[in-house]
């Protein structure tokens, strides 16, 4: 066994703690996946990391005799990450496919998908501000191609990832924000390409369900984090973790007052699968954590405490002119609908989740990968 193979095995065993928690929570619902065929788009991204590792865990444990068959699709524009090639090599039920989802599906016509998990999107503000038209194409044309695929395959369900960003910047009386709030979103500005295309995506899901009977499921994620999130992603927690790994002060690009809630990956994936397997079609569900709602300044301090670092949180304005334009001041979900209709309850404490994320970077990503991310980021 090579050192790399040994490291992969260690990482897989370490992650199994999270997947076992999901298996316990989802329980008998997971039988719906027995012997089924699933397409996961955006397979090389953060959500792809979580779903593919969890499905691999199910095939090694619960579904040994009738495993899931998984097609992992991505355009691999930033390369195929090592974790994905290693997972596919160790998992005969995972097939890697190169696919630009802004084009019609090019896979085998005889391969029917029972479930489609459509995770392909440009979600990092740093990236979608650089590529606004590509973001629109991915979020609109890409989704429509996947809805057409679900229609032609008569899929049991297709999962669409909308965003909490569709709420824009709600007034104080709309926080925590429930699914009935219609949003306060600018259709012109540096974030509009993402926010508005996600809103239109929900309309597409609604229309395909109304006109073609496509069983589209809609989730609105709230700030997911955890193992698998790239250090160069450009979102707040990877940026903070990069500072800690490099043993430097945590740099805030805002004044530190905006507040968010953060949802650990196993809780997020549990909510997504509860939605995918539910009988609720073409209606949105908030998936995230509703506490603590924490400022970016306090989040940085908490992460330093978790890391045992004596560094500080400092403020250095971004050189990017549009960095804070239309940035919401608060973001916190009302989970009443998800709790009552899906049975969804986030379980992982924020401090524990931050510790897991840091452990992942230190043990299985390391400073060499940090240096690579700084070059490409």
Burial environment of residue 334 by CB neighbours within 10 A (0 to 12, 13 to 18, 19 or more)? middle
- Pick from 222, 236, 122, 230: which is nearest to 163 by CA? 222
Q: Taking the C-alpha atoms of 356, 357, 363 and 369 in order, what is their torsion angle to the nearest 10 degrees? A: 180
Q: Which two tokens stand for residue 163?
A: 């965003």
Considering the candidates 160, 167, 194, 361, report the single residue annotated as catalytic: 194
Q: Which two tokens stand for residue 334?
A: 């009302």
Alpha-carbon gap, residue 303 to 264, rounded angstroms: 14
Q: Taking the C-alpha atoms of 124, 126, 132 and 138 in order, what is their torsion angle to the nearest 10 degrees? A: -20
Q: Which two tokens stand for residue 299?
A: 């989040």
Alpha-carbon gap, residue 164 to 307, rounded angstroms: 29
Give the helix/strand (H/E) hosting 38.
Answer: strand 37-41
Alpha-carbon gap, residue 205 to 362, rounded angstroms: 40
| DSSP H helical ranges for the chain | 3-26, 46-60, 82-90, 125-130, 132-136, 143-153, 192-212, 236-245, 265-276, 296-307, 336-342, 350-360, 366-376
Residue 206 annotated as catalytic:
no
Instruction: Centre a 10 Å sphere on the Cβ of residue 39 and count the other Cβ atoms it contains.
Output: 27
Q: What are phi and psi of 110, to 5 degrees?
A: -85, 0
**Active-site residue set:** 194
């Amino acid at each position: 066994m090579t050192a790399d193979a040994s490291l992969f095995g260690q990482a897989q065993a370490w992650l199994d703690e999270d997947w076992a928690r999901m298996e316990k929570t989802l329980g008998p619902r997971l039988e719906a996946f027995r012997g089924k065929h699933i397409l996961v788009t955006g397979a090389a991204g953060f959500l792809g990391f979580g779903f593919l590792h969890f499905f691999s865990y199910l095939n090694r444990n619960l579904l040994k005799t009738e495993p899931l068959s998984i097609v992992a699709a991505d355009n691999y524009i930033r390369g195929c990450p090592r974790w994905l090639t290693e997972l596919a090599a160790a998992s005969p039920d995972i097939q890697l496919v190169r696919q630009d989802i802004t084009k019609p599906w090019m896979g085998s016509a005889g391969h029917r998908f029972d479930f489609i998990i459509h995770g392909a999107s440009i979600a990092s503000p740093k990236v979608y501000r650089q590529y606004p038209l590509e973001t629109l194409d991915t979020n609109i044309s890409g989704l429509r191609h996947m809805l057409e695929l679900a229609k032609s395959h008569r899929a049991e369900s297709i999962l669409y990832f909308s965003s909490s960003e569709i709420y824009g910047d709600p007034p104080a009386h709309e926080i925590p924000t429930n699914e009935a709030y219609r949003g306060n979103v600018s259709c012109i500005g540096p974030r509009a390409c993402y926010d508005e295309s996600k809103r239109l995506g929900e309309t597409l899901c609604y229309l395909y369900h109304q006109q073609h009977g496509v069983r589209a499921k809609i989730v609105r994620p709230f700030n997911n984090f955890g193992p698998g999130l790239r250090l160069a992603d450009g979102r707040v927690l990877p940026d903070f973790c990069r500072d800690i790994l490099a043993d430097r002060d945590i740099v805030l690009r805002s004044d530190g007052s905006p507040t968010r809630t953060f949802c650990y990956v196993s809780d997020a994936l549990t909510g997504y699968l509860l939605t995918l397997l539910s009988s609720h079609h073409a209606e949105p569900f908030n998936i995230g954590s509703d506490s603590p709602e924490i400022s970016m300044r306090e989040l940085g301090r908490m992460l330093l405490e978790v890391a045992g670092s004596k560094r500080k949180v400092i403020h250095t304005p971004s050189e990017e002119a549009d960095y804070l334009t239309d940035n919401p001041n608060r973001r916190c979900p009302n989970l009443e609908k998800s709790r009552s209709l899906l049975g969804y309850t986030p379980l992982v404490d924020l401090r524990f989740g931050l510790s897991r994320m840091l452990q992942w970077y230190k043990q299985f990503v390391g400073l060499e990968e940090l240096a690579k991310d700084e070059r490409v980021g």
